[in-house]
Structure 1
Amino acid sequence: MREGRIVNEVFWIRSFACLAVAVIHAVYTTLENYEGVISQLDEYILITIRFAAFFGTPAFVFISELLLARVYPNALPEDFFWKRVQYLLLPFIFMGIVFAFVTNDNWSDIGMDALLNVFAGNYTGYFILVIFQFYLLHYLFHRFLRKSDPKIILPAALLINVGYLACFNFIAFPENTVGAYMWERGYWLLFVGWIFYFTLGYYCGLHYPLIKEKIAHFKWSIVLLPLVSFIIMVFLVRTDLLTTVSSKRLDNIFYTIGVISLIALATHRFEKVPRPVLFISKHSFHIYLLHKIFLYYLPTIPGMPPLLYFVLALVYAVGTSILVSHILSSFRWSTYLIGKKLPVPNLIKT
């Protein structure tokens, strides 16, 4: 990353977003392993934690486009797509096959799941397919976005995003196989469901100094936004008005933007990013791609309270992902299987 265009807040947002994704799956593993024996209170606490972490994946879309607009304001480098194929798409394909082996025990199911994982994003790595769509959109439309008025583009993108998600959040799926798949997870893969994060990220990257000033000026609104939006989200869940349990809830758009803004507000005065934050940011792609595999093998621990088990699952998932990526990094070919460590200031050569 070009030194003059480093955005310190991105390291914080990426680290929190990466850990949030791991939190979601650690909660899922805990609820699954304690099914039938967990108290109602513990279950509510874990579900609330899971909903609070739903900002994770959308935040990655936002910061990916923010960095593109910030680092490459005029044009993408010639080798841009080839590098992404090597270090994002190839690991996506490899890990899709690995997930198929991990979650099945016969060759027929392994083969079918491998195809679904690779071509339909049927595992955690689906996010990479979404990101590639936005790489292409950036390449095709960044000049249009640059010349357009964000006061028009951003509300339009928000309406499109909300309308798209509302269709899948509120309308019952058609009684056929294709409809059932699209309503269950297929709609996650289309860029339309993430378009507001993309456009907002673009304009934030393009006008980054101005955005920092606005964040400081509207600090109390920024503090309130994630709190109010999360309360609304919990209300909609508790009243069964919106039952979707994923980051693709339409109300999660406002919560995610609130959390991103709050993180930026809380960290924008730091002259240097703490080394632990840089460390997590550096390994964020490995954590994102690998952690769920290790959770799959985490057994139930008799007598351990569910909340303590959740903490253990989170630390275990993050720790093993970093450890395995560190071991494999000694082999040059590992970057084509699990991706590269992300560059960070002062830690690039470590």
Structure 2
Amino acid sequence: MNIYLSTDETRNFLDIFITYILYGSWYGWFVIVIFQFYILHAIFHNFLNKRNPIIILLITFIISFSHSFTTYFNQDYLQWWAEFYPVYSRAAIPYWIFYFAFGYYLGKNYEYVMKMLQKYIWIVVALWVCSIIPITMFYHYKGVVYAQSNRFDIMLYTILTFLIILYTMKVLSRYKFSVFLLISEISFFIYLSHPLINEYISRGLAPFVNIPIVFIVVLTVFTLGLSIGIA
């Protein structure tokens, strides 16, 4: 939508369609990742079903971490993927293969995982706190400041955060909060619309930028409210 609101956009519809829809060079690139997941599932379902989950998760973690780490610190490696991968390089499957394996085994063993979460939730929370340590260290000592989902140092943090949220939502589901159901139903629209809304709301909230907590809370509330209202 930002493209069509831009007054200096000179590309024709076909160029825009190829660049953003087929190649995936926009913030909806994750849709291409999902399509790749579908393909991987169709090809490797039987293989994964017969293998030890721990071994597969360990191997895929090494692949994803190594790829993310190398693309950050080695520009030649990053450039190679940007030039030769058929779609947007952020959608390259080595980034996400660990998350694919995690999602596969979580879905396959959902009831067992939920029982373990209920039993060991505080251990998971403790591990979550520990997972923040490498993020902090890379930030302070290596200057890793980019805020992207393919950061090499947030993989365990992301998985543990997801498990905690999953458990929390499971607990809250007994109260049947309608707002959660509403957000769930329109979550894809919220994701697609929030960058456009954020761009304009953040300008109005500029006076609060030096108060991060206030800025983030107000921005989140306004963005979520407008996204739900538009939807």
Alpha-carbon distance change, 101 to 146 in structure 1, aligned in 2, over 3 angstroms: same
Higher relative contact order (CA 8 A, sep 6+): 1
Q: Once the two structures are superposed, what CA deviation does each residue of 1:179-218 show, in whole Å capped at 9, x if it has no partner? A: 6778xx9431112211111111111111111111221232
Q: Does 1:317 align with 2:185?
A: no
| Deviations, residues 323-348 of structure 1 (Å, cap 9, x unaligned) | 222xxxxxxxxxxxxxxxxxxxxxxx
Question: 1:149 aligns to what?
Answer: 52
**One of 156, 160, 163 as aligned partner of 2:63:** 160
Q: Who is 2:110 aligned against? A: 208
Contact 1:157/1:196, CA 8 A, preserved across alignment: yes
Is the contact made by 1:226 and 1:255 (CA closer than 8 Å) also made in structure 2? yes
Structure 2 portions without partners, runs of 5+: none
CA spacing shift, 1:303–1:274, aligned 2, 3 Å: closer
Distance in structure 2 (CA, Å) of the matches to 1:130 and 1:258: 21
> Offset at 1:241?
5.1
Q: Which residue of 1 aligns with 2:3?
A: 100
Taking the aligned partners of 2:128 and 2:138, their CA distance within structure 1 comes to: 15
Alpha-carbon deviations, 1:37-82, whole Å to 9, x = none?
xxxxxxxxxxxxxxxxxxxxxxxxxxxxxxxxxxxxxxxxxxxxxx
Distance 1:121 1:302, change over 3 A: closer
Measured after TM superposition, the shift of residue 153 of structure 1 is: 1.3
- SS of 1:125 mapped into structure 2: coil
User: For the Cα contact (< 8 Å) 2:64–2:97, is it kept in 1?
Assistant: yes
Instruction: Give yes or no for contact 1:169–1:244 (8 Å, CA) kept in 2.
Output: no
Structure 1: 5+ residue stretches without partners: 1-97, 326-350
- Superposed displacement of residue 268, structure 1: 3.5
Q: Take 1:256 and 1:276, find their aligned partners in 2: how far apart are those partners?
A: 24
**C-alpha distance in structure 2 between counterparts of 1:155 and 1:174, whole Å:** 23
Other-structure match for 1:294:
197
Is 1:117 equivalent to 2:20 in the alignment?
A: yes
Corresponding residue for residue 138 of structure 2: 236
Aligned to 1:35: none
* CA distance in structure 2 between the partners assigned to 1:235 and 1:261 by the alignment: 23
Please give the root-mean-square deviation of Cα atoms over the aligned residues, in Å: 2.9
Pairing partner for 2:158 from 232, 256, 259: 256
Which secondary structure state, in structure 1, belongs to the residue aligned with residue 11 of structure 2? helix
CA contact (8 A) 1:99 1:123 kept: no
More helix, by proportion: 2
Distance 2:60 2:51 in 1: 13
**1:179, 1:204 → 2: CA distance?**
29
Q: Distance in 2 between matches of 1:299 and 1:149?
A: 47
Find the partner of 2:42 among 110, 135, 139: 139
The match for 2:101 is 199
TM-score by length of 1: 0.57
Report the count of equivalent residues: 226
Compared CA separation, residues 162 and 322, structure 1 to 2 (3 A): same
> Which amino acid letter does the alignment assign opposite residue 89 of structure 2?
Y
Separation (CA, whole Å) in 2 of partners of 1:293 and 1:241 = 29
Deviation at 1:137, TM superposition (A): 1.3
